[in-house]
Amino acid sequence: MPDTPRRRVLVTGAAGYIAGINLPALRQRYDLTLVDLRATRRDGTAVDGVVEYDLAADAQGGYHPSDRLRQLFRGVVTVFHCAYVHSDWTTLDGYATERGNVDLAYLVYRLAYEEGVRRVVVASSNHAADWYEGPLRDGRLDVLSPESPPYSANWYGWGKVAYEQMGFVFAAGALGRPLDVVQLRIGAPRTLEAARYRDNSVGYRRDLGAWISDRDFQQLLVKSIEAPDIKNEFGVPFQIFYGISNNTRAFWSIRNARRAIGYAPQDDSEVTYADDIRRLLVGADQRGRLNDLSGS
């Protein structure tokens, strides 16, 4: 990727998993402001340079950012929003937690808007449209594009839809200046350990389609940050990209990311996991189990 002048990028949820995948690439390229509740990862290792700050305190019951937080947003060109509180997605109570996440997103968009930030890139999720996975599995749908109306049957997905749409309100420009907004519907950003899928060949096939390698994720994020113009076909600076590699088994479209920002993923789960696929799937029965690994 060509060298670019260093810009200031603020990362929320900077001690989290998604930020952790991307921090090496971001540290190389940008001056960073890292914000999180805590300065350590889940495994207890320290993350350099994190400002410990509870964003929820400024979002609860309305919008009241402290001067300290406002200061952190000053001079920032792009925000990468990853702060997130995990919810119990499928119970009625999941709503309250996800509503808190939506309030957090509002705080971030509005502060960015008020403090002259040019672009907000949001760690969204494929779950914004996870309802379609049934039709995708049983052949009623071949491939899902980010332009399809988003539907989810759980609060996690609902929360992602809510803050994707909220981002559109800020991007549309009716509030004043349009804010550039990119939503990354991240797929499966992890090593696919075959042993975890022993009785779940459907899940294994799914994750082979949903997988994104670290270097492809970093490329997608950097291009989302740096693309000079992210206007959609109607002139609104708003994009939703699926975050997956160049997977042979892909069932979400990344055509718009290729076109709008030149995303050119280098990896394909079919190649990376070729040995596992041969051992586990070729000749597997139809009962959902993978081939027996014992003795192989």
CB of 103 to ligand NAD, least distance (A): 10
- State in angstroms the smallest separation of the CB of 40 from ligand NAD: 9
At residue 73, the 3 state secondary structure works out as: helix
Tell whether residue 18 is a contact of ligand NAD (CB under 6 A): yes
Closest separation in Å from C-beta 17 to ligand NAD: 4
Shortest Cβ distance from residue 167 to ligand NAD (Å)?
Answer: 13
Please tell me the distance from the alpha carbon of residue 277 to that of residue 235, in angstroms, as a whole number: 43
Strand partners, 181: 120, 238
Options 56, 172, 227, 284; binder of ligand NAD; rule CB under 6 A: 56
> Is 236 among the residues that bind ligand NAD (CB under 6 A)?
no
Q: Which amino acid is at 21?
A: I
Largest CA distance in the chain: 65
Among 11, 55, 72, 107, binds ligand NAD (CB under 6 A): 55
The answer to whether 125 contacts ligand NAD (rule: CB under 6 A) is: yes
Q: What is the DSSP string of 218-286?
A: HHHHHHHHH-S----TTS--EEEEEE--S-TT--B--HHHHHHH-------HHHHTHHHHHHHTTT--S
Which residues in 194-223 contact ligand NAD (CB under 6 A)? none
Closer residue to ligand NAD in complex, CB, 215/231:
215
SS3 for 88-125 is: CCCCCCHHHHHHHHHHHHHHHHHHHHHCCCCEEEEEEE
Instruction: Report how many residues bind ligand NAD under the rule CB under 6 A.
Output: 20
Nearer to ligand NAD, 50 or 277 (CB): 50
Q: Which of 10, 25, 34, 37 binds ligand NAD (CB under 6 A)?
A: 37
User: Tokens 């952790």 label which residue?
Assistant: 20
Choose, by CB under 6 A, the member of 7, 51, 54, 227 that binds ligand NAD: 54
Backbone angles phi, psi at 73, to 5 degrees: -85, -15
- Residues β-bridged to residue 70: none
CA gap 83, 94 in Å, rounded: 17
Q: Where on the chain is the footprint of ligand NAD (CB under 6 A)? A: 13, 15-19, 36-38, 54-56, 82-85, 123, 125, 186, 189
